[in-house]
Amino acid sequence: MNESWKVEAWRILTLVVATLLLGTGINNYTLAALFGALIYLAWHLHSVARLNTWLSAYQTTEIPESTGVWGRVYDRLRGMTRHHQQDINALHRRLERYQQTTRAFPEGAVTLGRNDEIELINEAATSLLGLKNPQDLGSPITNLVRDPKFVRYMQDGRYSEALEIASPINRNMRMSLRLVPYGDANGKLLLVRNISRLHKLEEIRRDFIANVSHEMKSPLTVIKGYVESMVEDTSEFGLKWTKALSQVDQQTDRMCRMVDDLLQLSNLETGPAEKPTLVDMPSLIRSVHSEAIELSNSRHDIDLDVDESIYVAGNFNQLYSALSNLVFNAVQYTPEHGQIKIGWHLDQDNYANFSVRDTGPGIAHEHLPRLTERFYRVDTARSRELGGTGLGLAIVKHVLQRHGGSLVIDSELGQGSTFTCVFPAQRVVDRREPKSSV
Ligand code: ADP
């Protein structure tokens, strides 16, 4: 028997002896026993009351002292609270270290809770986003960073790509924002990077390409004019020069196409957003199909499957350029007797998909992520031989970005390729639904 139970046993024994003596004294053992039991009960009730008082303020008051069975209970509770306090201290230390790490982060970091409320902000985030620590803790991030692009990014839930916006406190500062979901309680980490320098360099590069292309356009047009008239009338030149002139003509054509493509790309990148108009996609696709048949010159079987009711809010010329680029590529790269299937449909999310599937050579997986970069070609010699500029897919990507869409490339070497332009539901107008409007 341990010490506290012995003390309790002695206490009960003393009470029994006192009750017996009292019973003998008053000559009534029942009354004495009742009295003894009441005293014992009162002592226990008193101990329960002390325990209750301590429990209601256990963080600030000391555990009461006692002997016997209650002493044992209090000792156990004391041990438990000590362990509990040690755990809390360890957690505090860990949290403090975590906060120090995020504070030392050169990039901005904001931890968001289930309803996008701010839980933690580091110093870099306060200076990039203009958030105040601790005043803004608990407020939804979209109440403080109100850029409509950011609000849409938060709502869309497609966090695989970063978002680029101007800083709310300095319009000249460009920031890249990236949301990283974590844990199973819908938590998110918002990473913020100052990319002003990178943005400036990108701007210089874009301006440089646009200026060079622009400057080259006029001399090229003059050269082309002269070469064309010389090719038309070769009587003045010998056979030797006729061949050379025809090559000059071809190369001038290629350079003109390249300059045009570069100018188109720089317009897509920097030009102001135009007001979208309702584009009759079925008839646009039929025109592209007819041109593809002409280009193919019966070398391919070109199949068309179009949902006649799907229109898109956008820019006709840009869409024509993107879709024809994909279809003409399929015609150019697919060998004779190959098949090309052009499709235009709504998917289950009401996104409109324009797809071009071919039975051509296909593209190895390692090339796919880089295919939409300017001048990236899988087979440079083949592309040049076909008169390609290496800018077609970059143009397609930018046109789709301007329409809020994306390009999906699916290809296996030796198995053909499928290029799909995906247009978001907001851009799609289904003519079957009378209420749709641009
Ligand atoms: P290019 O002017 O060279 O065709 P693009 O940007 O249109 O430039 O295409 C980039 C590269 O992607 C091409 O050089 C080619 O290697 C590859 N490519 C594009 N479309 C196809 C296709 N349908 N089948 C096979 N390869 C393709």
Question: Distance between alpha carbon 392 and the CA centroid of its chain, in Å?
Answer: 26
**Which candidate, 300, 218, 231, places its Cα nearest to that of 259?**
218
Other CB atoms closer than 10 Å to residue 177's CB: what's the count? 23
Q: Which residue has the higher pLDDT, 185 or 83?
A: 83
Task: Please identify, by atom number, the ligand 1 atom nearest to the C-alpha of residue 394.
Answer: 6
The per-residue pLDDT for range 363-384, each reduced to its tens digit, is: 999 999 999 999 999 988 878 7
Q: What is the mean pLDDT of residues 264-279?
A: 90
**Which candidate, 152, 394, 166, places its Cα nearest to that of 263?**
394
Q: Which of 341, 373, 377, 410 to mutate to test the pocket of ligand 1 (most atoms within 8 A of CB)?
A: 377
Q: Which residue minimizes the CA distance to atom 19 of ligand 1?
A: 329
What tokens were used for 334? 């697919």
Please tell me the distance between residue 299's alpha carbon and the centre of ligand 1 in angstroms.
19
The set of residues, in sequence order, having a beta carbon less than 8 Å from that of 302 and lying 6+ positions away, is 289, 292, 293, 296, 331, 339, 340, 342
Contact indicator for 189, 109 with CB cutoff of 8 Å: yes
Domains and CATH numbers, the chain: 3-96 (no CATH), 105-194 (3.30.450.20), 199-270 (1.10.287.130), 277-437 (3.30.565.10)
Instruction: Inform me whether the pLDDT recorded for 155 exceeds 70.
Output: yes
Q: Which residue minimizes the CA distance to atom 20 of ligand 1?
A: 329
Longest dimension (CA), the chain: 153
Task: Please identify, by atom number, the ligand 1 atom nearest to the C-alpha of residue 389.
Answer: 2
Percent of the chain at pLDDT exceeding 90: 67
Q: Which residue minimizes the CA distance to atom 10 of ligand 1?
A: 377
Please tell me the distance between residue 377's alpha carbon and the centre of ligand 1 in angstroms.
6
User: Which pLDDT band, with edges at 50, 70 and 90, does 436 fall under?
Assistant: very low
Please tell me the distance between residue 329's alpha carbon and the centre of ligand 1 in angstroms.
6
The whole-angstrom separation of Cα 50 and Cα 255 is 94
Other CB atoms closer than 10 Å to residue 72's CB: what's the count? 17
Q: Which residue minimizes the CA distance to atom 2 of ligand 1?
A: 388
Q: What is the mean pLDDT of residues 383-404?
A: 91
User: Which pLDDT band, with edges at 50, 70 and 90, does 438 fall under?
Assistant: very low
Q: Quick one: pLDDT at residue 434?
A: 59
Q: Which residue minimizes the CA distance to atom 18 of ligand 1?
A: 329
Please tell me the distance between residue 378's alpha carbon and the centre of ligand 1 in angstroms.
7
Of 147-156, 192-201, 236-245, the one with minimum mean pLDDT is 236-245
The whole-angstrom separation of Cα 327 and Cα 305 is 14
Please tell me the distance between residue 379's alpha carbon and the centre of ligand 1 in angstroms.
8
Pocket residues: Cβ below 6 A from ligand 1? 325, 329-330, 333, 358, 360-361, 363, 371, 377-379, 383, 388-393, 417
Task: Please identify, by atom number, the ligand 1 atom nearest to the C-alpha of residue 384.
Answer: 3
Q: Quick one: pLDDT at residue 171?
A: 87
The whole-angstrom separation of Cα 299 and Cα 83 is 82
Q: What is the mean pLDDT of residues 73-81?
A: 90
Q: What is the mean pLDDT of residues 120-138?
A: 91
Q: Is the Cα dihedral 361, 365, 371, 375 positive or negative?
A: negative
Q: Which amino acid is at 177?
A: L
Output b/e per residue, 183-211; b: 16+ Cβ within 10 A: eeeeebbbbbbbbeeebeeeeeeeeebbe
Helices 68-104 and 29-56, packing angle to 10 deg: 10
Contact indicator for 213, 266 with CB cutoff of 8 Å: yes
Contact indicator for 430, 436 with CB cutoff of 8 Å: yes
Q: Which of 295, 383, 389, 396 to mutate to test the pocket of ligand 1 (most atoms within 8 A of CB)?
A: 383
User: Which pLDDT band, with edges at 50, 70 and 90, does 39 fall under?
Assistant: very high
Q: Which residue minimizes the CA distance to atom 23 of ligand 1?
A: 330
Please tell me the distance between residue 390's alpha carbon and the centre of ligand 1 in angstroms.
7
Please tell me the distance between residue 245's alpha carbon and the centre of ligand 1 in angstroms.
28
Please tell me the distance between residue 261's alpha carbon and the centre of ligand 1 in angstroms.
15
> To 5 degrees, how large is the angle CA 345–CA 349–CA 353?
30
Percent of the chain at pLDDT exceeding 70: 98
The whole-angstrom separation of Cα 223 and Cα 253 is 10
